[in-house]
């Protein structure tokens, strides 16, 4: 059986978890959290990185931090995970869905401006498959209309756009360290990157249940009190210890995944059309978060998935567009025409790709896929 994903393991996780246990300080913001945050700040050049229990929590923190209120509108693609939308809907916002570009499955930047109204507060680009959205255009639109840019970089850790790390480009970036992502903090985890220094102090308060405990720990105030709304957005030190082992091996994991990705690309570009394969625009480096191919239709995709299953290969499809889901209909609205989102998402299927996947397994996948297309 070839699984779709195996959570990454580097070998140092247990050692660091043991150190965390022996330190007798397991609540959030201990030494491993600090190490991970410093690593992220240095590697990705952000004003402040804060670990969170998930990317979902990071997005929720972001929505509180930019004061999203009842009646506000937030722009994002419909082709994304529910958490991208939920975080803003929880604050009372209406979600405005924009079509994707069929080449990258990212938000079509050329359609954003037409969706902006007097109620618009933020644009949320989602870097699908770790491939960057067209950030220069998005930042220029946001600046012109005075909007926040919150990057959903759940899949984008270690990717860059014109030399800048994904997640470190907008005002705020959100990472996921869920076990299905490139780096894990023991199953569940995330981080928020505060790139706008003006937001850092309040982000720390919201993350600490609305208190200024962080200032207290830094010796800035001599007791801490309730300052603002907030929640508990800190992961435990056990999660941070696990994550630190992964971040230390970030380059090795990234190189390994890229090599698998490149093998797939080389093999399948021999038998598939360019529009059936992922497209990596110029000026950016991706992190091989995902390798997908597109079939001719959802019927052909169903056939593909069932034939792969007979080879014991797991090839899941991905998001059901949010605007066509019950909650999406209730809390959102599609702006413009759905030319690509529904059609393209129904063709897409993901192939097994994980740190530690061996060459024999990849060859099995390649051969099964080749057989499917060549014998059809």
Ligand X SMILES: *Cc1c(COP(=O)(O)O)cnc(C)c1O
Query: Applying CB under 6 A, which part among 111-119, 148-156, 327-335, 355-363 lies near ligand X?
Result: 148-156
Residue range at the interface with ligand X (CB under 6 A); choices 88-96, 150-158, 227-235, 244-252: 150-158
* Dist. CA 358–CA 360, nearest whole Å: 6
Q: Is 155 in the site for ligand X (CB under 6 A)?
A: yes
Closest distance of CB 299 from ligand X, Å: 26
Under the binding rule (CB under 6 A), the answer on residue 239 touching ligand X is: no
Q: Report the residue from 40, 49, 55, 62 that binds ligand X according to the rule CB under 6 A.
A: 55
357 contacts 366 by C-beta, under 8 angstroms: no
54 sits near ligand X (criterion: CB under 6 A): yes
Q: 16 vs 79, which CB is nearer to ligand X?
A: 79
Stretch near ligand X under the rule CB under 6 A, chosen from 49-57, 137-145, 275-283, 291-299: 49-57
- For ligand X, the closer CB: 349 or 368: 349
Closest CA to 152 of 61, 253, 284: 61
84 binds ligand X, rule: CB under 6 A = yes
Q: Does 154 bind ligand X (CB under 6 A)?
A: yes
What's 318's DSSP letter?
A: -
Q: How far apart are CA 373 and CA 307, in angstroms?
A: 11
Strand partners, 123: 75, 149
Distance between CA atoms of 296 and 278, rounded to whole angstroms?
A: 15
Q: Closest CB to ligand X among 150 and 368?
A: 150
Q: Is 211 helix (H, G, I), strand (E, B) or coil?
A: strand
Smallest separation, CB 69 to ligand X (Å)? 22
Q: Which is nearer to ligand X, 160 or 184 (CB)?
A: 184
Q: Which residues are CB-neighbours of 248 under 8 A, at least 6 positions away?
A: 10, 12, 39
Nearest distance from residue 128's CB to ligand X, in Å? 7
CA distance 119 to 291: 37
Would you say 159 and 250 are in contact if contact means Cβ atoms under 8 Å apart? Answer: no
Assess 341 for contact with ligand X (CB under 6 A): no
Closest distance of CB 154 from ligand X, Å: 3
Per-residue binding string, ligand X, 176-195, x by CB under 6 A, is x-x-----------x-----
Contacts of 366 (CB under 8 A, 6+ apart): 263, 264, 267, 268
Shorter beta-carbon distance to ligand X: residue 191 or 241 = 191
Residue whose tokens read 């996947």: 357
**Region class of 282: left (phi > 0), else alpha (psi between -120 and 50), else beta:** beta
User: By C-beta, is 177 or 244 nearer to ligand X?
Assistant: 177
Using CB under 6 A, pick the residue from 81, 88, 242, 244 that binds ligand X: 81
What sign does the CA torsion over 262, 267, 269, 272 have? negative
Q: Which is nearer to ligand X, 190 or 321 (CB)?
A: 190
Q: Which of 46, 80, 106, 246 binds ligand X (CB under 6 A)?
A: 80
Concatenate the DSSP letters of all residues of 156-203 into one string.
-TT-EETTEETTSSSSEEEEE--TTSSS-SSSS-EEEEE-SGGGHHHH
CB of 180 to ligand X, least distance (A): 7
Sole window of 17-25, 39-47, 152-160, 339-347 interacting with ligand X (rule: CB under 6 A): 152-160
Q: In whole angstroms, how close is the CB of 182 to ligand X at the nearest point? A: 11
> Interface with ligand X includes 63 (CB under 6 A)?
no
Nearest-angstrom CA–CA distance, 264 and 201: 45
Which chain residues interact with ligand X by CB under 6 A?
Answer: 54-56, 80-81, 83-84, 126, 152, 154-155, 176, 178, 190
């Amino acid at each position: 059986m070839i699984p779709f994903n195996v959570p990454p393991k580097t070998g140092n996780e247990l050692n660091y978890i043991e150190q965390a246990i022996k330190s007798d300080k397991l609540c959030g913001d201990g030494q491993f959290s600090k190490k991970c945050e410093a690593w992220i700040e240095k590697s990705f050049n952000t004003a402040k990185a804060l670990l969170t229990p998930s990317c979902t929590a990071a997005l929720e923190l972001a929505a509180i931090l930019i004061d999203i209120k009842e009646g506000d509108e937030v722009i994002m693609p419909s082709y994304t995970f529910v958490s991208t939308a939920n975080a803003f809907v929880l604050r009372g916002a209406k979600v405005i869905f924009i079509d994707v570009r069929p080449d990258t499955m990212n938000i079509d930047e050329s359609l954003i401006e037409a969706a902006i109204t007097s109620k618009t507060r933020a644009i949320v680009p989602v870097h699908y498959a770790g491939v960057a959205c067209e950030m220069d255009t998005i930042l220029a639109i946001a600046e012109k209309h005075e909007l926040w840019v919150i990057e959903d970089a759940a899949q984008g850790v270690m990717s860059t756009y014109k030399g800048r790390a994904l997640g470190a480009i907008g005002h705020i970036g959100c990472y996921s360290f869920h076990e299905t992502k490139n780096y894990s903090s023991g199953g569940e985890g995330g981080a928020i990157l505060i790139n706008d220094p003006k937001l850092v102090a309040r982000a720390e308060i919201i993350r600490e249940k609305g208190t200024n405990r962080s200032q207290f720990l830094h010796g800035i105030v001599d007791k801490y009190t309730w300052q603002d709304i907030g929640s508990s957005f800190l992961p435990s030190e056990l999660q941070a210890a696990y994550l630190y082992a992964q971040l230390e091996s970030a380059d090795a994991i990234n190189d390994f995944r890229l090599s698998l990705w490149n093998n797939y690309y080389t093999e399948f570009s021999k038998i598939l059309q360019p529009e059936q394969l992922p497209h990596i625009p110029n000026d950016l480096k991706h992190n091989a978060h995902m390798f997908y191919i597109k079939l001719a239709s959802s019927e052909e995709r169903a056939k593909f998935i069932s034939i792969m299953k007979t080879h014991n290969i797991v090839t899941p499809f991905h998001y059901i567009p949010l605007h066509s889901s019950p909650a999406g209909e209730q809390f959102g609205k599609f702006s413009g025409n759905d030319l690509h989102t529904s059609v393209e998402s129904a063709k897409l299927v993901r192939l097994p790709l994980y740190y530690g996947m061996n060459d024999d397994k990849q060859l099995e996948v390649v051969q099964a896929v080749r057989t499917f297309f060549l014998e059809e």
